[in-house]
Structure 1
Amino acid sequence: MEHNALRILSLSQLSNGQDWRLSLAHDRAEHLLIWTTRGQGRVLLGGQRRGVGTHNAIIVPSRQLFALDLGRQGVGQVVVFPEATELSLPQMSRLLRIRDAGAMNELTTLIDAATREQIAGKPLCKLSMDAYGALISIWVQRQLGLEEHAPERRNAAARLSASYCDRISAYFSHPMTMADHAEELGVTPTHLTRACKAATGKTAADLLTERVLYEARCLLATTKVPAQDIARHLGFGSAAYFTRFMQHHTNATPTALRKASARLVEAA
């Protein structure tokens, strides 16, 4: 299946069996619709931490910061839309708690049918998958039009947290500290930290650190780029500082993390 085509994945496939790929704050190039079918946990979405459970539809536009922790028992399916899709998708992150059995069955049926089409790989598969994607996007639009899914008004702390999360997605690889972002947002570091803590349960520094850590782990796992070049790309002053950063947050050196990822790929 082409990566510029619509795909259906399980949550475990999306994370490649590595919890950090979902639980660390990060953003992706694709648009995601995550349909949770079992488990309870927390999601960081739109600059806020929210509870998430069974039959929740999590809409994550491309390049928007999010994190999901459903625990080991969590199960769900993910519709991955390519960033350049022409389908009408929300431009803002949304969490929809679906209570209507008919709506639940409709989305589940569409995703299951698209999954079977993807597995079969018949001629014109991409065209068929695009058609399922269009039907799924229509389902989303219909749900967003319901009064029960009207977006909640965000307080000042949530709005500031959302703006900061947008900046993290755009500038995480730049040599900017949390204090630099606070200055650009016109607030003090203390005020920004207080707002992020209230909205997400994490400090402003924690959110920035998680995004940098996620990128570092991805590059170590999926490329052969030397650790010192990764360090430079992510704004670290030296390879030694980068190594200390990784050891502090993962209890492993960049070399050890890369080897562990390679073993995981070999075992798959």
Structure 2
Amino acid sequence: MTARNAPSTPIWENVEAAILQSSLTQTEYVLRGGRYHLFLLLAGTATLLIGDTDTDIQAPAFVWVPQGVSSKVGIKAGTRGMVVSIPELQLGISLPSGSLGVDVRAALAAPIIRKPDLKTTARQLQILTDTIHEELYTNAPATQDIVRYNLTLLLIQIWRASATEIRHSTAIPRSIFQNFVSLVELHLTDHWTVAAYAAHIGVTKDRLTSAVQRATGRSPLAEIHRKLLQEAELQLLTSPQQISEIAYKLGFKDAAYFNRFFRKHMGLSPGQFRTKKQEQLPPKTFAAWP
């Protein structure tokens, strides 16, 4: 099997896409849990291994593997499809706004294996993944906007296809902490205050602080900073962009503020961190994705 890859330097925030084409032998993809992955099977058979559980999947079908879940996907001879890899920061940016985004984010937190009930669903997923791939491959004007727009539609389609029934978030009881985590992922680069998160959830700042401390042992602000540092580390290690560009991408007003924030929490500047850690990264291929 061969895969037509996006450029070696990803065009939009390390989102990657490839076409899976027929082969005479089986090919195995090792997913180490560093990103979210969508495998869309249009023809043939694949095998998903998560832990000790082996599942055979017959096309048409899709497999969603969330970040943090290490697994293996074996693509058998004659299989055809698409694969999209999404960093967590870009997934958060691409989620729909409001309560729908909270519902979609909750659904995408677990592995999903589905055969779409309707042929139109499989066709829509194919159109969206094809568009993302072509935009990444050609890097035409407005690529970022088109990729983000199609990722949003793609995530909604996955949520629709995975749900046994569509519910509004108001009908599903959620803890204050769960809502907080979802909102942080949606608005991490907006740099909301803790009071803004509390107001959006509909609780007092003290009640939010109590809920987050019980769940994590940290304050809401410390949890926001922890998440922001995780995204900063990911960008520094995987993006070829300059420190100032990464700072802007993460919502900082200027690189100096980003440098102070990073040094305060990590003990070294973003540039020093990148230099120290970059040599430790393994070679990056589609057959051994992060």
TM-score by length of 2: 0.44
